[in-house]
Amino acid sequence: MNESRRGFVAKAALVGAFAAVGVVSATASSSDSKGTNGVVLGKSKKKEITYKKTQAWEDYYKSAL
């Protein structure tokens, strides 16, 4: 009975060690393209436009006040 428990514990520890190594290596390889906060950094030269002044926005802001 003790031998089967010891064998199970040894196998579980071995699998856990391999899993930890896999997680660490996957995290290290995926952090190459990400910044410090997990934001993906791109190489695009385009400027991101999040707001464009239109009559619809003007009407919305007037009604929101």
In a domain, 22, yes or no: yes
Name the nearest CA neighbour of 56 among 48, 44, 64, 45. Answer: 64
CA distances from 19 to 3, 9, 11, 31 (A): 24, 15, 12, 18
Q: Which two tokens stand for residue 16?
A: 């856990």
- Domain assignment present for residue 59? The answer is no
Look up residue 59 and give its two tokens: 């009407």
Task: Decide if 41 is inside a domain.
Answer: no
Does residue 8 fall inside a structural domain? yes
Residue 39 within any structural domain of the chain: no
Task: Give the model confidence (pLDDT) of 18-59 as tens digits.
Answer: 666 665 565 655 555 566 677 777 788 888 888 888 999 899
Q: Which domain holds residue 18?
A: 1-28
Q: How many domains does the chain have?
A: 1
pTM exceeds 0.85 for this model:
no
**Is there a domain that residue 16 lies in?**
yes
Is the distance from CB of 37 to CB of 44 less than 8 angstroms? Answer: no
Q: What is the pLDDT of residue 15?
A: 79
Asked if residue 60 belongs to a domain, the reply is: no
Quote the tokens at residue 29.
């390889």
